[in-house]
Amino acid sequence: MTRTAHTFAYARPSSLTSAEAGRALGLETAGGLTPAGAEDHPQFFAGFLSAPQAAARALLAVADVAAARYFRRTLRASLDPVVTGNGDRLRFESFSGCCGVYARLDVLPEGLRGADTGHGTTNVDVNNPLREALSRLTGDDPLHLRVGPDEMAVTTLDGAVVEKKVPLPDRWLRGFAESQAITTGFDLRAELGPTETARFLRSLPRTASGGGAAGGPLWVVPAGRTLRPTTRPVPGAVCLPGPERLAALQRVLRQATGLRVYGPAADGANPTASAWEIGLPGMRLTLTLSPEADRGFSGEGAVLEALATDEAAEDAELISVLLAWEPRIDPADLADQSGLPVARVRAALTRLGTAGRVGYDIAEAAYFHRELPYDARRAERHNPRLVAARALLTAGAVTLDRPGTSVVASGERRYQVRESGGALSCTCQWWADHRGRRGPCKHALATRMALRAATATTTAADTASTGAAR
């Protein structure tokens, strides 16, 4: 796994302090991106929260996920959450160290008491002393939140700088893109009230239990006002892969207004990803689970097709110019502005997601703009299947056979790739194991690239021939 040492530098540690009007929560920011460009310590918000205790516990839940590993628990996981200001709301995001759980807290306008919110993305410091202080927060005392440095911190030159050197896996950045691409296909499957929400989540195991029968995935199905566990993906069922991975939601059960569950249609008995959204006063806290506890989002392959096309790359450049930190991105509006069909706009948004520049909000069925403060090119450069597919194409390993088939030479083996209904299948072991559920194999991806190149060459030749005839 490729890992890069990344330094988060904060002007001072984040803290929760007493103030005349109540409590003051100061979240310090590292280097980030804003409409004005890169800033050392951007400020996104300063104002009171509508539900102080719920906000404190929800922020802790996001930090819990960032500090957790649900697979290979002995390895270290310590990443500070990402915060994005979208002009009317704040979004706090994190991934677990194993990349199998994606957490996001959306603090909506009503949760911020209508105070002005900035635009941009950065990391926020959530240190152990702050976690302990937030855990002790009780009562309804007013809570003032400041995200980023105040004026004094900006102008002070001799203040202490807190640095955290974190080995940042490239798969963490890829996880943002994959989870976005996967959740765009989710639908609302179930909705519970506050009492049923607390009862259901408290009934789940806190430690790995092996899932359903014979170690298979666990499923839940709506039953009256609650959810009933089942070992089979009956109609309407939602996969709950690794129920212990929802433990972070326990922090907010007292303030929860309900639970909404999202997922795709069942795919036979195969496990699928799912999203679990807790409603809070003026906020939403969502945990998205990968299809299996030992399976991170970074390897799902949902974005490989978009990465492999030159057309999507060119479209993404155009669409990126039109983004303006919107909390809701409408592909139809972007299509009107860019002159591109909606389908190409969606493909461009998927590609921008691989650079961390676009996320997806399931609750609103809409994309949103963010700019992760990392080298966005790493996600594409270090995607093993994409790199391998391009190497095969460069080496001339793809032979386009009769229509709908190709032969790909990989090492000493030859693999047949067939097209049916627009989808490609392969005779390799990857395809036999996953049947396209985790994106295309490198042979199918290389074939797709070769087919596009051949089509482009034929089109260019036809155009030249027509021009010469005239």
Q: Which residues contact 201 (CB under 8 A, 6 or more apart)?
A: 246, 249, 250, 253, 259
Least confident of 6-15, 213-222, 366-375: 213-222
Question: Using 50, 70 and 90 to split pLDDT, how confident is the model at 371?
Answer: confident
Q: Which one is predicted more confidently, 470 or 302?
A: 302
Determine the average pLDDT of the residues in 237-261.
95
**Residues ≥6 apart with Cβ < 8 Å to 5:** 165, 166, 167, 168
> Across the chain, what does the average pLDDT equal?
84
Per-residue pLDDT at 463: 55
Per-residue pLDDT, 10 = 87
Determine how β-strand 143-147 pairs with β-strand 22-27: parallel
Percent of the chain with pLDDT over 70: 84
Q: For residues 354 and 173, what is the distance between their CA atoms, to the nearest angstrom?
A: 8
Residue 214 reports pLDDT greater than 60: no
| Phi, psi of 281, rounded to the nearest 5 degrees | -60, 110
From residue 322, give the alpha-carbon distance in Å to each of 34, 85, 178, 292, 375.
15, 17, 23, 37, 21
466 pLDDT band (50/70/90 cuts)? Answer: low
The more confidently predicted of residues 50 and 375 is: 50
- pTM of the prediction? 0.85
pLDDT value at residue 405? 86
- 115-146: pLDDT as tens digits: 889 999 988 988 888 988 888 888 778 889 99
pLDDT of residue 277: 98
pLDDT value at residue 99:
86
pLDDT at 461 over 80: no
Whether the pLDDT of residue 53 is over 90: the answer is: yes
Residue 188 has pLDDT above 80, yes or no: yes
**How confident is the model over 233-252, as a mean pLDDT?**
92
Lowest-confidence pick of 77-86, 248-257, 326-335: 77-86
Q: What is the mean pLDDT of residues 355-373?
A: 89
Whether residue 290 is predicted with pLDDT greater than 60 in this model: the reply is yes
Return the pLDDT at 423: 81
For 258-289, the pLDDT digits (tens) are 999 999 987 777 889 999 999 999 999 999 99
The pLDDT confidence band at residue 404, using thresholds 50, 70 and 90, is confident
**What per-residue confidence (pLDDT) applies to 155?**
35
pLDDT, position 7 = 74
3-state secondary structure of 273: coil
385, pLDDT greater than 80: yes
What's the DSSP call for residue 264?
P
**pLDDT value of residue 154:** 34
Average pLDDT over residues 428-439: 84
Strand, helix or coil at 42? coil
Residues 145, 308: Cα–Cα separation, whole Å: 43
Of residues 213 and 460, more confidently modeled: 460
Tally helices (H) and strands (E) across the chain: 13, 25
Burial class (CB in 10 A: 0-12, 13-18, 19+), 333: middle
Structure confidence at residue 213 (pLDDT): 40
- Local confidence band at 365 (pLDDT 50, 70, 90 cut-offs): very high
> Which of 110, 91, 103, 94 is CA-nearest to residue 326?
91
The stretch 146-164 carries a mean pLDDT of 58
Q: Is the pLDDT of residue 437 over 90?
A: no
Cα distance between residue 280 and residue 51, in whole Å: 9
Average pLDDT over residues 392-409: 88
Give the confidence band of 383 by pLDDT, cuts at 50, 70, 90. Answer: confident
